[in-house]
Amino acid sequence: MTNFPAAARLPFSAARLALAGLLLAMAPALAPAQSQNPQVAQTGRDTGAGSTVVPVSELSTIPAPAIAARAWISIDVTSGQVLAASNPDQQVEPASLTKIMTAFVAFTAVDENRLSLEQQVNVSEAAWKTGGSRMFIEPRKPVTVEQLLQGVIVQSGNDASVAVAEAVAGSESAFATLMNQEAKRLGMSRTHFMNATGLPDPQHVTSVRDLATLATHLIVNHPKHFHYYKQRDFTYNGITQSNRNRLLWADPSVDGMKTGHTESAGYCLVATAMRGDRRILTVVVGTDSEATRAEESLKLMNWSFQNFDTLKLFDASQPAIEARIWEGKAETVKLGTAEPVWVTVPRGRSGEVKPVAQRPDPLVAPLEQGQAIGTVALTLDGKTLRVEPLVVKETVERAGFFGRLADTVKRWFQ
């Protein structure tokens, strides 16, 4: 197997050579099958790898640390892979981690020009009277959308969260509907929101996997707004409050993200850090103190950075393979991935990743650019790290009658 993954750190020409080696190594799996069972190739049921994507820690000799929390998860944001987790799908109370979705919906409204950061917001009696942590907004006192967002993110203000909800949707209940629509769109299947604040409600639930999904989408989809999460303090109405995320002071690579706490939820933290070109995100919920949630999050984050590598395996601008196509105006078709593909592996094992492709056989024209034409699974020790669709990179039109006839004859002799 070619040591391609290590080539992501090599000079460009060396990386291109390594890519060529990988594609050659892939060729047997991607060539038209000579199988006795063509139905398997058509249906894609047999990829040659486990059908379940596994946490990368299952393939590491370094076990995940013991984390004193009700549930937790660590992911590599670049590859989107889960490094390790405990009770990732258990439904838990999100407390003020809810405000990640509150900000997400508000950022979307700003980016779609339905709201502006400079816009002044009227503070309602309902927002002003909201209990719990507060920004200390007041009716008839000017406040902008940007100030409210800093009140939500930095100060964790429940009053600010309600004011933002009302500015976006007219009421907090209508805003909760938007939150649940976004949760469904993002695939947060264990989540249901009842409010914009995270104040306790029996039906207000999520999971650490869903929170990691949400936080990742916020980082990726709203990069120009992400800077608020590393802001250490914010002053409004003559009152300065510090960000409750202790890791912003403990580790210079940490640049977010959000704390939460209620008596029933315990102390919770979504934390993220960038070291070099890698971003790790951790979610820890149900710890027993502010100090514990910070210490356990940093422990998990350090383990995640130290024991894994993340490498670019495919680039969307380059085809992964050229495969034989029949009855087309060309004899081959370029297949690749729609987006660049990164993969995270235990440190030192980058050269052991094996791509296992599954596609229909034979490929028959016409094929259109962007058309999905199978999958490629990236495996290690026979276990699937991730699966990506193979798509057609260039349209291949159907050949004329005589061209199709010639190919039909050729296939008889294959």
Q: Which domains does the chain have, with CATH numbers?
A: 5-55+311-412 (2.60.410.10), 64-306 (3.40.710.10)
Q: Give pLDDT, residue 29.
A: 33
Q: Give pLDDT, residue 403.
A: 61
Per residue in 201-234, pLDDT (tens digit) is 999 999 999 999 999 999 999 999 999 999 999 9
Instruction: Give the relative orientation of helices 158-169 and 145-153 as an angle to the nearest 10 degrees.
Output: 140
* 164 contacts 130 by C-beta, under 8 angstroms: no
Q: Where are the alpha helices (DSSP H) in 139-187?
A: 145-153, 158-169, 172-185
Look at residue 313 and tell me whether its pLDDT is greater than 90: no
For residue 279, the cross-strand partners are 274
Look at residue 98 and tell me whether its pLDDT is greater than 80: yes
Per residue in 58-90, pLDDT (tens digit) is 999 999 999 999 999 999 999 999 999 999 999
Per residue in 24-55, pLDDT (tens digit) is 233 333 332 222 222 212 212 233 334 589 99
Q: Give pLDDT, residue 394.
A: 85
Instruction: Give the relative orientation of helices 145-153 and 99-111 as an angle to the nearest 10 degrees.
Output: 150
Q: Give pLDDT, residue 86.
A: 98
* 268 contacts 261 by C-beta, under 8 angstroms: yes
What are residue 125's phi and psi, to 5 degrees? -60, -40
217-247 burial, b at 16+ Cβ within 10 Å, e below that, comes to: bbbeebeebbebbbbeebebeeeebebbbbb
CA angle 114, 116, 122 (to 5 degrees): 95
What one-letter code names the amino acid at 38?
P
Q: Give pLDDT, residue 320.
A: 67
| Nearest Cα residue to 391 out of 406, 409, 376 | 376
| Nearest Cα residue to 391 out of 325, 313, 324, 339 | 339
Q: Give pLDDT, residue 136.
A: 97
Q: Give pLDDT, residue 122.
A: 93
pLDDT-derived band at 395 (thresholds 50, 70, 90) equals: confident
* Residue 258 assigned as binding residue: yes
Per residue in 318-328, pLDDT (tens digit) is 666 778 787 77
Q: Give pLDDT, residue 25.
A: 33
Q: What is the mean pLDDT of residues 132-154?
A: 96
Three-state secondary-structure class, residue 128: helix
All residues at 6 or more sequence positions from 302 whose CB lies less than 8 Å from its CB, including other chains: none
Q: Give the DSSP per-residue string, 30-60.
A: HSPP--S-HHHHHHT---SS-SSB--GGGG-
Q: Give pLDDT, residue 10.
A: 29
Mean pLDDT for all residues in the chain: 85
Per residue in 236-272, pLDDT (tens digit) is 999 999 999 999 999 999 999 999 999 999 999 999 9
| Nearest Cα residue to 385 out of 41, 64, 13, 79 | 79
For residue 379, the cross-strand partners are 354, 384
Look at residue 294 and tell me whether its pLDDT is greater than 60: yes
Look at residue 177 and tell me whether its pLDDT is greater than 50: yes
All residues at 6 or more sequence positions from 153 whose CB lies less than 8 Å from its CB, including other chains: 99, 103, 228, 229, 231, 258
Cα Rg of the chain (Å, integer): 25
Per residue in 335-365, pLDDT (tens digit) is 888 888 899 999 999 999 988 878 887 888 8
Q: Give pLDDT, residue 133.
A: 97
Look at residue 411 and tell me whether its pLDDT is greater than 80: no
pLDDT-derived band at 273 (thresholds 50, 70, 90) equals: very high
What one-letter code names the amino acid at 219?
I
Three-state secondary-structure class, residue 294: helix
Q: Give pLDDT, residue 14.
A: 37
Strands 383-392 and 278-287: unpaired
* 135 contacts 157 by C-beta, under 8 angstroms: yes
Q: Give pLDDT, residue 195.
A: 98
Query: Tokens in use for 266?
Result: 């315990």
Catalogue the active-site residues: 96, 99, 156
Look at residue 9 and tell me whether its pLDDT is greater than 50: no
